Amino acid sequence: MTKYFSVAWCRVHKQAKLLAGVLCLLIAVPAYGQSGGVRRELPPELMPKHPAGKESQRANIDAKRAIENMYSDDALPRSREFKRTDSTYYVGWMFEGIYKYTHAADYIGFKNAAAALEKSLALLERDYKRNLSVRSDNILVLLPAYNFQIDFTIIAAALVHVYGNTDEPEKIVPLLRRAIKYNMQREYYLDPYNMLAWTVHRNRFYTSEKYWFLKNTIDENEQLANRYLDSGMRAIEKNKYLNTTLFPPGYIDAEKNGVYHYKNILHAYNFRIDSAEHYFELMRKNGRLPHNNYANFKSIIGDFRTAQAEYKIASEQDAGDKRLQEWAYFTTILEIYKANPKTAISLSRNMIKAGGSTPGYGWYNIALARSLTYDGQVAQAERYGGRAADFKELHIGTTLGQSHYDFSLQLVKLVNKEQSWQMDRFENSNWWYNPKVLWSMACKLTDKYLQQFLIINQFSQNPERERVIYKLFSTENVVSWDEIWYLVRDFSTRYFLSRFRKEAETDKRQYIRKYFEFFTARLLVEQGKHKEAKPILDKLLRDPNTDADFEKLFTARIYQAQAECAHTLKNDRMRDEWLYKMYVLYPQLLPFTGMKPNMILHVSGDVDKGVEERLRKCNINWVNGTGTHAPEAYVIFTGTGKKKGITYYVLDRTGNYIVEKQSFAWQKADETGKELAYRLFNIGGKEAEDAEETEKKK
């Protein structure tokens, strides 16, 4: 889940907003002495003056500042000028700190920003502390303190973000509590109660032993965060009597939207679906619906169609932001659900290209590795997984932290190891009596089990596993439901069977219950109870809540389980039918199932016998088409010498393309035969060739 407020959102129009705010104050109330004010002249301590001996220098800085923008590229030279004029005035340090904050993209950059911001805040509080506590419904009382209060919230908000980005929450809480003590009648850009709730929620899985401001369980921390939000709402209501006449109508809705935003984050995380919907709807009515978070919420309740539409809106709003774009990462998972891994690959590559090695780069490489995995490009997936492992990701503006990052990466690696093992079986139909292949498979199987134990050992220390991973869909889950199967399939089948059965009965998300039922059926298959599993699988295929476009991966896995049941129950005709359906729906999955699908092969042109023989040695049941359930593959050999090429495509039983017509050049017969086998399952293809060519150029 992403944050709602950020200093960056007011980047371009901050000075205009400030001036507009002052004008609103001047227009909104009558002159002092005509509004029922208790005093007819300003108290001396509230007069807008600077410390003795600094008046002229600071007045000069204030005059120049009025026409400068601290968010522009000129902010840094302006900060130096202001500090030369008076280095004890906070404004120069504020310009420097805000400039460095808005341009930071790594740990060192944020630490540099923190130094200037801390200096600025200290100077502001030293010289103008009394102004920060001014409260009044009278314009002439509030106005002298107004700019100082605005600046305090700008600096403090930037510091909160900096401390969050450098993983220093222990510095955030004292700062926010100090801000609350000033008791400003508006918090402007800071929202301390919301930020306290965010900080607690972001660190909810830790205890007071690590951070003194936390409780000792996730539930207690979530309750604490919720209490902070309630306090924030009370503060808004308490200050209403002062602010109603001073600020434009609707200001209170904007302040409440901040509370609503964090309320829906907490409720969605804790699966209080109706409450989350309520707060999302309040924000929608106010025109401030957070589309990325709403998409995350829709995804966890199984409304993938709406989720993708909301991610698209979020993509238009977040364009150019140099941090993880959650909409992009999670959209790749939705494309995998839709049997469009190539679309997911393209999106991931584009995000990597656009963002470079800025925050989010590691996440996009994980997304690319996962997308390549589901497209069957195992070697490429391992390469990009390695890049993600080598990158020091900076988790900015999101509750997704290093533990989520590591878990997602390790799980993609696990799926890759399983697929690599299955590749030996697919490429060699005689694998079971080929010593070389058997040795390779044994080594890979050992690697897979070691990877599983690595994840389990790390995961056993994660207090969120019950509500994030085992729930299959949650706002903090950064992997696909299908990947979770690879994690649980070989461990404590009885425990998970009991757990998923219970979830299928009790989970309130009507579109999600079927996933728990599916896991139950798959675990029964693992136990050899195929007759018990089959009625569940049959029921799932009739489920009216399945979206035919957005849940193709789910349906394909049901076909796979049905084929396994049919094979064990000696029903070869139904096994072939289920495998054919799986091929039509999601062909990239089949080579990694361990089963032998039927295929009709048509070879023409200047046929190279070496390529054809190697192709036929792959674990595919080549049939003649008489009364069998099989797609038809066409392979045409062209050219000679260094310009040898192969054109291929695959049709279903009605003549529609499953694998579009494509061509590629080749040299070595053995490698080409294996590559062609994968291409007939729509693995790789032109996209993979273009990407490989780009890598070589780099």
How confident is the model over 461-493, as pLDDT tens digits?
777 777 778 888 988 888 999 999 988 887 767
271-319: pLDDT as tens digits: 999 999 999 999 998 888 999 999 999 999 999 999 999 999 988 876 5
pLDDT of residue 628: 77
pLDDT of residue 689: 58
The residue among 270, 288, 306 that closes a domain is: 288
Mean pLDDT calculated for residue range 648-652 = 93
412-457: pLDDT as tens digits: 999 999 999 999 999 898 888 888 989 998 998 898 888 888 888 7
596 or 359, higher pLDDT:
596
Q: Are 559 and 339 in contact (CB under 8 A)?
A: no
Q: How many domains does the chain have?
A: 4
Q: Do residues 470 and 444 both lie within one domain? A: yes
% residues pLDDT > 90 (the chain): 48
pLDDT of residue 43: 53
pLDDT of residue 453: 83
CA 266 to chain centre: 17
92 located within any domain: yes
User: Sheet of 645-651: strands edge to edge?
Assistant: 621-623, 598-605, 632-638, 645-651, 657-665
Mean pLDDT calculated for residue range 382-409 = 84
Residues with Cβ < 8 Å from 505, sequence gap 6 or more? Answer: none
What's the CATH number where 654 sits?
Answer: 3.30.160
Mean pLDDT calculated for residue range 64-76 = 88
pLDDT of residue 100: 92
70 or 697, higher pLDDT:
70
pLDDT of residue 304: 95
CA–CA gap between residue 213 and residue 230 (Å, rounded): 18
pLDDT of residue 690: 59
Question: Given pLDDT bands bounded at 50, 70 and 90, which one contains residue 360?
Answer: confident
Would the pLDDT of 510 be above 60?
A: yes
CA–CA gap between residue 1 and residue 649 (Å, rounded): 42
pLDDT of residue 691: 58
Task: Give the start-end residues of each E strand in 68-120.
Answer: none
Q: Which residue has the tokens 């009370």?
A: 234
Mean pLDDT calculated for residue range 159-180 = 92
What's the CATH number where 472 sits?
Answer: 1.25.40
pLDDT of residue 9: 35
CA–CA gap between residue 44 and residue 503 (Å, rounded): 67
Q: Can you give the C-alpha Rg of the chain in angstroms? A: 31
Least confident of 383-397, 411-425, 515-529, 574-588: 383-397
pTM, whole model, 2 decimals? 0.86
Print the domain residue range for 515.
402-592
Mean pLDDT calculated for residue range 153-165 = 92
318-354: pLDDT as tens digits: 655 667 888 999 999 999 999 999 999 999 999 898 8
121 located within any domain: yes
**C-alpha distance from residue 302 to each of 51, 136, 228, 481 (Å):** 61, 49, 30, 11
- DSSP characters over 304-365: HHHHHHHHHHHHHHSTT-SS--HHHHHHHHHHHHTT-HHHHHHHHHHHHHHHTTSTTHHHHH
Mean pLDDT calculated for residue range 388-408 = 82
608 located within any domain: yes
Would the pLDDT of 617 be above 70?
A: yes
Q: Do residues 117 and 152 both lie within one domain? A: yes
pLDDT of residue 346: 93
Which token pair is 370?
């996962």
356 or 630, higher pLDDT:
630
pLDDT of residue 121: 94
Q: Do residues 422 and 537 both lie within one domain? A: yes
354 located within any domain: no
Give me the chain's average pLDDT, please. 85
Would the pLDDT of 64 be above 70?
A: yes
pLDDT of residue 639: 82
471: closest CA among 445, 441, 437, 509? 509
pLDDT of residue 23: 39
**C-alpha distance from residue 218 to each of 55, 176, 210, 404, 663 (Å):** 52, 22, 14, 16, 55
CA–CA gap between residue 297 and residue 573 (Å, rounded): 42
Q: Are 310 and 294 in contact (CB under 8 A)?
A: yes
611 located within any domain: yes
Q: Do residues 411 and 533 both lie within one domain? A: yes
The residue among 230, 262, 288 that closes a domain is: 288
Q: Are 233 and 259 in contact (CB under 8 A)?
A: yes
Mean pLDDT calculated for residue range 32-55 = 51
Question: Given pLDDT bands bounded at 50, 70 and 90, which one contains residue 244?
Answer: confident
CA dihedral 97, 102, 104, 109 (to 10 degrees): 10
3 state SS of 570: coil
Measured at the alpha carbon of residue 376, what is the angle toward residues 374 and 382, in degrees to the nearest 5? 90
% residues pLDDT > 70 (the chain): 90
What long-range pairs does 45-53 form, CB within 8 A, spacing at least 24? 45/130, 46/130, 46/131, 46/134, 46/141, 46/144, 46/145, 47/144, 48/143, 48/144, 50/89, 50/127, 51/127
Q: Do residues 257 and 243 both lie within one domain? A: yes
Which token pair is 551?
């849940």
Would the pLDDT of 25 be above 60?
A: no
Buried b (16+ CB within 10 A) or exposed e, 609-635: eebbebbebbbbeebeeeebbbbbbbb
CA–CA gap between residue 75 and residue 65 (Å, rounded): 10
Which token pair is 434?
């080929």
CA–CA gap between residue 317 and residue 466 (Å, rounded): 33
Q: Do residues 565 and 604 both lie within one domain? A: no
pLDDT of residue 104: 85
252 located within any domain: yes
329: closest CA among 351, 307, 313, 304? 351
CA–CA gap between residue 187 and residue 124 (Å, rounded): 16
3 state SS of 200: helix
Q: Do residues 150 and 124 both lie within one domain? A: yes
301 located within any domain: no
Question: Given pLDDT bands bounded at 50, 70 and 90, which one contains residue 688?
Answer: low
CB-based burial of residue 546 (10 Å sphere; 0-12 exposed, 13-18 middle, 19+ buried)?
Answer: middle
Would the pLDDT of 496 be above 80?
A: yes
Q: Are 98 and 386 in contact (CB under 8 A)?
A: no
The residue among 592, 608, 625 that closes a domain is: 592
Strands 657-665, 645-651: pairing kind: antiparallel
Buried b (16+ CB within 10 A) or exposed e, 434-473: eeebeebbeebeebbeebbeebeeebeeeebeebbbbbbb
Q: Do residues 559 and 605 both lie within one domain? A: no
Q: Do residues 147 and 1 both lie within one domain? A: yes
Would the pLDDT of 198 be above 70?
A: yes
Which token pair is 637?
């050999």
Q: Do residues 418 and 458 both lie within one domain? A: yes
Question: Given pLDDT bands bounded at 50, 70 and 90, which one contains residue 42?
Answer: very low
307 located within any domain: no
Q: Which residue has the tokens 């205009």?
A: 16
**C-alpha distance from residue 194 to each of 42, 68, 411, 642, 666 (Å):** 33, 30, 33, 66, 60
**C-alpha distance from residue 689 to each of 342, 599, 679, 686 (Å):** 13, 25, 12, 5
Q: Do residues 98 and 208 both lie within one domain? A: no
Residues paired with residue 484 on neighbouring β-strands, in sequence order: none
CA dihedral 425, 426, 429, 434 (to 10 degrees): -30
pLDDT of residue 518: 94
pLDDT of residue 165: 86
Would the pLDDT of 4 be above 70?
A: no
Q: Do residues 626 and 669 both lie within one domain? A: yes
